[in-house]
């Protein structure tokens, strides 16, 4: 069973935040019951995060808010395990990290709520346990806070499958759905990315470079996503992610320039000193003068 790298700096993130716990007793009970109910052979860190998130959403619909602390990232939600009221240990087994709770949460919970949690977990086991990790991520993505991330995930799938036709069709959706107000700093770089993707896909060139570039873009996008979209996290995510987001933007700008140069080397200007270039420069000059560049 595959496991995804949920977050690259998990130790750093959860190490500094382990003192802040959510005190909701139903959260502890849900985690314990979920791990008790689900077959451990089908559990991994990624699956645990996704299933717990889906159970949290289902419980909310039934009027129970267990206050799951999580933030959005690349593969959907990342649960702040260090902030859970029960200690979850991950036991390494065959390349996977299997979550495990040693101590059963104390009693004193309302029986009616406990019953609803038990029922929800049993139902979740029936329809979620046999799903692949990708399918679980698909389920979580139904709750994605921005349309763009759904489109981008699709786009990346097409790119990985070398499905050029569908990837090209997706570009327009990416362009349309980019949340430019929330990701203001990233928007200009995103606009430079679009023609590179179109060119590379249309010419069927530079597939590795495009994958690396979009991977880096996604990585940076998710850092801001975590800052913007999270719930119940009992510590400040901003100082953890903001610096990495800003550094990432500089790194991404360099990478865009690198791929731009590759594509520009490949791009053949049809006529030298062309009329188009002359038209462009005439209007660019006016723009540069009006904006004080000259």
Partner 1 sequence: MNLFHDTNVLIAYCFIQDRWKGKAEAILKDDFTHFTSDKVINEFLEKEDEIIKDFYSKIVNLSERIYKSGKDNFNVDEKNKIIKKADKEIRPLIAEFLDKKVTYPVSKKILAESLQNLYFEGLKTERARYENLRQKFKEIHCRLKEYPKLESQLEQLGIHNGNRDRGILLDAHDLAILKGFTLNFVSLDDDLCQEFRNEILNLLELNEIIDLRYYSGF
Question: Which residues here bind partner 1, judged by CB under 8 A?
Answer: 171-172, 175-176, 188, 191-192, 194-195, 198-199, 253, 260-261, 263-264, 267, 269-270, 273-288, 291, 293-294
- For partner 1, the closer of residues 14 and 158 by Cβ is 158
- For partner 1, the closer of residues 61 and 283 by Cβ is 283
Q: How far is the CB of 168 from partner 1 (least distance, A)?
A: 9
Q: How far is the CB of 191 from partner 1 (least distance, A)?
A: 4
- For residue 63, CA distances in Å to 107, 140, 271 come to 21, 20, 67
Q: How far is the CB of 73 from partner 1 (least distance, A)?
A: 27
- For partner 1, the closer of residues 71 and 178 by Cβ is 178
Cα separation, 8 vs 42, in Å, equals 23
- For partner 1, the closer of residues 109 and 168 by Cβ is 168
Q: How far is the CB of 276 from partner 1 (least distance, A)?
A: 5
- For partner 1, the closer of residues 208 and 265 by Cβ is 265
**Under 8 Å between Cβ of 76 and 141:** yes
**Under 8 Å between Cβ of 25 and 85:** yes
Q: How far is the CB of 271 from partner 1 (least distance, A)?
A: 9
- For partner 1, the closer of residues 93 and 287 by Cβ is 287
Q: How far is the CB of 280 from partner 1 (least distance, A)?
A: 5
């Amino acid at each position: 069973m595959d496991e995804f790298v949920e977050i690259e700096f998990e130790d750093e993130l959860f190490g500094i935040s382990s003192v802040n716990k959510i005190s909701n007793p139903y959260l502890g009970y849900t985690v314990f019951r979920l791990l008790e109910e689900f077959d451990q052979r089908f559990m991994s860190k990624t699956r645990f995060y996704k299933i717990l998130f889906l159970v949290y959403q289902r419980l909310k619909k039934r009027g129970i808010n267990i206050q799951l602390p999580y933030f959005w990232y690349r593969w959907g939600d990342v649960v702040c395990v260090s902030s859970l009221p029960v200690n979850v240990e991950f036991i390494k087994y065959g390349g996977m990290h299997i979550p495990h709770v040693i101590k059963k949460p104390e009693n004193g919970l309302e029986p009616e709520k406990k019953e609803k949690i038990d029922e929800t977990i049993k139902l979740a086991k029936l329809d979620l346990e046999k799903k692949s990790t990708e399918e679980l991520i698909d389920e979580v993505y139904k709750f994605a806070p921005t349309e763009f991330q759904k489109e981008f995930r699709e786009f990346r799938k097409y790119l990985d499958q070398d499905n050029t036709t569908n990837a090209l069709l997706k570009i327009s959706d990416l362009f349309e759905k980019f949340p430019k107000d929330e990701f203001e700093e990233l928007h200009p770089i995103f606009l430079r990315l679009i023609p590179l993707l179109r060119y590379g896909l249309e010419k069927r060139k530079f597939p590795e470079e495009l994958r690396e570039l979009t991977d880096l873009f996604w990585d940076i996008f998710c850092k801001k996503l975590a800052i913007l979209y999270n719930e119940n996290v009992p510590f400040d995510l901003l100082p953890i992610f903001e610096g990495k987001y800003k550094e990432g933007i500089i790194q991404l700008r360099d990478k865009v320039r690198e791929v731009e140069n590759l594509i520009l080397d490949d791009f053949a200007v049809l006529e030298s000193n062309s009329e188009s270039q002359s038209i462009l420069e005439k209007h660019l000059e006016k723009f540069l003068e009006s904006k004080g560049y000259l």
